[in-house]
Structures are given as structure tokens and as C-alpha cells.
Amino acid sequence: MNRVQNAPQPAKLIPNLGLKHRNTFGFDASAELAYEITSPEQIPEVISTVTNQKLTWRVLGGGSNVILPKVLPGVTLLINITGQEIISSDDDATYLAVGGGVNWHELVAWTLENNLPGLENLALIPGTVGAAPIQNIGAYGVEIADYIDRIEAFDAKDQAFVTLTKDACHFAYRDSYFKQNPHRFIVTKVVFRIHKNWNARIHYADLAKQFTDNSNPSPEEIFLAVCKIRTHKLPDPKMIGNAGSFFQNPIVPNEQYETLLKAHADLVSYPDVTGKRKLAAGWLIDQCGFKGQRMGSVGIYENQALVLVNHGGGTAQDILGLAKCIQDKVRAKFGVSLQIEPNIL
């Protein structure tokens, strides 16, 4: 961590903070107590106070991958640590340090503006840089883990700042060491390793369709294509509440995949790095007739069965009730279990 010459200003304490505009589902939620964190140096004092008072706590970034109850008890930490800079370069890569509170999509756009291609497949994913490695966000054949060198965080268990190498992060499909140890780490900075040997990755079907007449698109063209696809498939949270893809694509053994394929010739799937098969959760849900359906104030988006939406006035209980209906029907029809992707707070 960089040393500071002067003691940082204490984190701002905000009681009864409304969170309706800090969660993309638009649930009418609030935080009993909230601290706005603008500098890593503010964190030790806040965690010490929370620990001494035996209060529950959690971190909230952009609120794009969470399901919030009506009231979040205890303390909510709002991570607003900003800034990005190129810190070094070698023959193979450029190293980029980014604050945990930086908007993810804005970072992707910034990298292209600064001739640092690689993250373009991850364009328009909502949320913050600090939250991205926790879930190991991914899209169109790329995961954030592919570009991480190390992560700086505050370890609330040991009350100390730590640096975790990529290997120490234990990245897997929508998983990480941070996710496996909830309420322990507060990500303050991510150092990316942006490879200089760039190659276009457009093998995913939806993306490949955008380049049938162009086998070698530029990073900027891929960025625009991904934005176009996501804008069509995913509703704008400002217009209709949602958290993007609600379920993970299930990974099944090859034997189960072959059995399913015999029964469903049009089954949509992709090879997985583990040697197993990744099924398209949206296709499974669509086959069960859920796309465009509504259950009270919540429902399934008409253009993408993988997206659950809040039409207005919905609650966490409503969306989880709908999710259970979907999980039950998919399990009954295909023998496959769907895992919820957003974090349930």
C-alpha cells in the first residue's frame, strides 16, 4: 500500500441510508448504518469500531449483483475508492492499478482509449472493480481472472492489509477465495496484467454472429458489439430493476450432457475448461416456458430468460420466490440444479 503523509479524514458515518438507488433491482431497502470509504486508510478504524461494538457488517459496491432485504442491519461499507494508473510494463504485459470503487464499464472503456485491449468482452457488466474479482465476472469467453496480477485488500480477520497473488485468489467459474470467505476481505485495489499479445476472442455464438463478414475485428469493434448484444438482452436497470444474469450456467459431467442431448437435440452448451460441459441456463429456463412471465411485481425479462426483473414494488422475498419456482421446474424437467448468481444479503 502507498504511504500517506497526512492522516486520512475519518470515513463518513451515515445513519438510515436509503439504498433504492444503490441496488440495480431497485428494491426499497435501507442501511441501518453506512460508512462511505474513499481511502483504504479509513478502513482499519471503521473495522475496529465495528468489531468492538460487535456489529454485523458487509461491503456494498455498485449494488449490481446483490439482493437486498428491506433493512440491512448493522454497518454497510460503501466503497468509493477511485483512480487508475499504469504502474509498470515489461515485454509481455502492462500493469494497471485500479481503485476498488471505480465503475467497471468505465474502466473497460478507459483501457481501450489508452490502447490496452483485452477487457472488451467484459464491456457493460454493471458494478465496481472491487466487486468484479469476488464473483470472477465473465462474458463471451473471457473472465476477469484472465487479467488479474494481484489484489490488495484489508483482511478484517487479521486486521491488516494484504496482497493476494492471482493464484492465491483461487479463481474458478463465478467463484474466488473472496467469495469463499465472505465478510473477511475488503478489496481496495486490483492490479491488472494486460497482455501485449492481443487476440480477438469472438467464438461465442452471439458474438460470432456480429462478425460473420469480419474474422479479425478490432478491440473497439468487439467492445461495441458486446454493448449492442447486452443492451438487447439485458434491460437498463434505470428503466426496469434487474441484476443481469440471475443464475449461473450449470456445469455437468459429459455423461449427463450426452443423456440430455439425446432427449433435447437443440440443447445449448459450451465446453468448459474443466473438461465438463457448461449448459446455457437461459435456454433451460426458456424451455420451461418462463420467458416474459410475471409473478406479481417481479418476472422474467421478455428478451432473456436468464434475467429476473422487478417491475416496481417488488421485494427480495418476491424475487427469491420466483427463483425457487424456476429452479424447481428446471430440476424436474432436466435434472439440473441452477445456482443463484447474485449475493443474497
Reported as a single tens digit per residue, the pLDDT across 166-195 is 999 999 988 999 999 988 999 999 999 999
Right CATH for 236-344 from 3.90.78.10, 3.90.1170.20, 2.30.30.40, 3.40.630.10: 3.90.78.10
pTM over 0.95: no
Cα–Cα distance for residue pair 331/329, rounded to 1 Å? 5
Residues 6+ apart with CB under 8 A from 86: 94, 95, 96, 114, 116
- DSSP assignment, residue 196? S
For the chain, give the mean pLDDT: 94
Say whether pLDDT at 280 is over 90.
Answer: yes
Q: What is the pLDDT of residue 115?
A: 96
What does the pLDDT look like over 97-108, one tens digit per residue? Answer: 999 999 999 999
| Phi, psi dihedral angles at 93 (to 5 degrees) | -155, 165
> Per CATH, is 84-195 categorized as 3.20.20.70?
no
Q: Binning pLDDT at 50, 70 and 90, where does residue 123 land? A: very high
Q: What percent of the chain has pLDDT over 90?
A: 86
CATH 3.30.465.10 segments of the chain: 84-195
The larger pLDDT score, comparing residue 304 to residue 6, is at: 304
Where in the chain is CATH 3.30.43.10?
12-79
> Which CATH number among 3.50.50.60, 3.20.20.70, 3.40.120.10, 3.30.43.10 corresponds to the domain 12-79?
3.30.43.10
Looking at the annotation, which residues are catalytic? 174, 245, 341
pLDDT tens sequence across 294-338: 999 999 999 999 999 999 999 999 999 999 999 999 999 999 999
